[in-house]
Amino acid sequence: VDQAVSDYIDEKHIDLLAMGAYGHSPIRYLVLGSTTTKMIMKANVPLLVVR
């Protein structure tokens, strides 16, 4: 998912990415990871995270 979002940002020349975030248990986070966390690390545009 994070790669698809990154590709879309590049293709459409997006200036700001807004994403929702909600809490997971620590165990679920370790198993599944977090798209929002990945986007924070790799997005080359400003990122607005709404909880």
Whether pTM > 0.85 for this model: the answer is no
**If you average pLDDT over residues 34-44, what whole number do you get?**
85
pLDDT in tens, 1-13: 889 999 999 999 9
Number of domains composing the chain: 1
Please tell me the distance from the alpha carbon of residue 23 to that of residue 15, in angstroms, as a whole number. Answer: 26
Domain extent, residue 19, equals 2-50
The set of long-range contacts for 9-17, using a CB threshold of 8 Å and a minimum separation of 24, is: 9/43, 9/44, 9/45, 14/45, 15/45, 15/46, 16/45, 16/46, 16/47, 16/48, 17/43, 17/45, 17/46, 17/47, 17/48
